[in-house]
Amino acid sequence: MPSTHEHHHFNSTCVHAGYGDKECAENAHALAPPIYATSTFTFDSAADMRDTFSGKKEGYIYTRISNPTSSVAEARLAALDGTEAACVFASGIGSICATCYTFLKAGDHMIASSAIYGCTYAYMSHILPKFGVEVDFVDTTDMAAMEAAMKENTKIVFFEAVANPVCRLTDVRAVSDMVHAKNKDCLVVVDNTFTTSYVHRPMEHGADLVVYSLTKGMIGSGTALAGAVVGPASLLGPIRFEGLKDCTGAVCDARVSHALINGLKTLHVRIQRHGENCEKVVAHVAKKVGKGVDVLYCPSHPTSPYYEVSKKMLDGYCLVMAFELTGGFDAAEKFMDALKFCKRAVSLGDAETLVCAPAVSTHATYSPEARAKYGIAEGLVRISVGLEHADDIIADLEQAFVAAGVQ
C-alpha cells in the first residue's frame, strides 16, 4: 500500500505522500499516479483470491472497497492530518453518514453542534431519529451546556471546527478532553471542511476522527464531488468495511480520486492565498460594522469572541467569512443582486469568490424557528473568498454594499 512520507514538511507532503519511489516503479515509473478505471481486480490463483478475501494477504478486490488510485489519495490525506488512515467517499455527506452508521445503533445518543451545514442538520435531525438514534443539538462553544448534554449512551459528539455559516469556532481540545473524561467510548468527530488540514488539524487537539467535504478547498477546482474520513486505522477499518462497503456504497470514483491528488498538490499554495485574501476582505467589512452591517463573523479577526481560541487552533485565516446586514433579507438580496464580479453560488474553496444568503440556500432545510434559534439571520451573507486579486474582490463587494444601503 502507498507510503505516507510522514517526516516531510506539510508542503512536500501535499505533493509526494502516498506516491513515492516504490509506487512510481510499480506504475511504469509514471510521474503522476495513474487512474485505475476498473470495477474489479483479478487474482493469480484460487488461493490468492481466498487469502485476499480473508484478509491474510493485502490486495485489491473490488473498487467499492478500495482502488489503487484512491489509495494514493487516502495515504496523502492521512499524512496531511498526521494520522494513520483515510477513506474517500463520493461526497462529504457520504463520509458523515458512513461514520454515523458504523458507530451508532438504535438506543444510542449523539450530540451535534447547533451550528452546522444545512444538509448535515437535515440528516441528523430527520434521518438518524428514524433509526432510533437520539440527537441533541448543542452550542459546542458552551462547555457547561456540553457537559450537561453528555449521557452514558452518548457515542458521538459531532461539530464543525469552524461552523457553517456563522464561523463559530469550537475549542477542539477542551471539548475532546471533556468528552473523553466523561465517556472514554464516545468519539469526537470534527468536520474540518472550512479550514482544511493546512489551517487546522483537529486530531492534534484530541479529536478521534475528522471528516471532509473534499469537494471544497481540498480539491479546489469546483469540478468534482468527494468526501473523506481520516483517523486511526482501528476506526477506519470498520468505516471502510461497514459504512462504505456494506452500508452507503458511497464510493469515490478513481477519476475523482485522481482529481483530488492533483488538487492536494497545490493545497498549501491555494489555501494560503485564500487566507490572505480573506484577511483583506474581513478588514474591509469590519469597517462597515455599525454602518449597515450588524455583525462580522470571522474567528481570526481580533473582534471575534473566538479570537483567543483561534490563536491556539488555527494557522491563519480559513476559506470563509460572513456578515449580517442590518436590513435583513431585503438588504441581503440587494447586495447579492448587485454583484458583478463575485459569483452567486453555494459551496466554498473554489478559485472563484462565491457569495450566498444561507437562510435561503445552504440552511433552507432549517425551519424559520430553528434558524432564529441557532443565529442564522435573514440578513446573513456568507462569502467563500477566492483566489482573484483581493482588490477586485473588495471593489465588487463595495459597490454591492452601496446598493444594499451600507455606508
Q: Residues 140-161: pLDDT tens digits?
A: 999 999 999 999 999 999 999 9
Domain check: are 221 and 239 in the same one? Answer: yes
Higher pLDDT, 376 or 90: 90
Please give the average per-residue pLDDT across 58-69, as a whole number: 97
Q: Are residues 188 and 146 in the same domain?
A: yes
Cis peptide preceding 165, ω within 30 of 0: yes
Residues 249 and 298 in one domain: no
Based on the domain organization, do 209 and 282 belong to the same domain? no
Q: Which of 226, 244, 265 is the last residue of a domain?
A: 265
Mean pLDDT of 376-391: 96
Taking residues 254-278, what's their average pLDDT? 98
Which of residues 213, 246, 265 is at a domain's end? 265
Distance CA(64)–CA(39), nearest Å, equals 8
pLDDT in tens, 315-350: 999 899 999 999 999 999 999 999 999 999 999 999
* Pairwise CA distance, residues 108 & 395, whole Å: 51
Assess whether pLDDT exceeds 90 at residue 366.
no
Which of 61-65, 284-288, 318-322, 372-376 has the lowest average pLDDT?
372-376
- Report the CATH number at residue 287: 3.90.1150.10
pLDDT confidence bin for 4, thresholds 50/70/90: very low
Same domain, 290 and 261: no
Q: Is the pLDDT of residue 269 over 70?
A: yes
Pair 34, 117 in one domain: yes
For 74-127, the pLDDT digits (tens) are 999 999 999 999 999 999 999 999 999 999 999 999 999 999 999 999 999 999
pLDDT of residue 407: 86
pTM over 0.75: yes
Classify residue 4: in a domain, yes or no. no
Claim to verify: residue 155 and residue 274 sit in the same structural domain: no
Q: Which residue has the cell 488555527?
A: 314
Residue 313 lies in a domain: yes
Q: How many CA atoms lie within 13 A of 178 on its CB side?
A: 20
Whether residue 5 is predicted with pLDDT greater than 80 in this model: the reply is no
Answer whether residue 136 shows pLDDT above 70: yes
Percentage of residues of the chain with pLDDT beyond 90: 94
Select from 265, 285, 315 the last residue of a domain: 265
Q: Per residue in 198-234, pLDDT tens?
A: 999 999 999 999 999 999 999 999 999 999 999 999 9
Pairing of strands 320-325, 293-297: antiparallel
Q: Structural domain of residue 108, as residue ranges?
A: 10-265
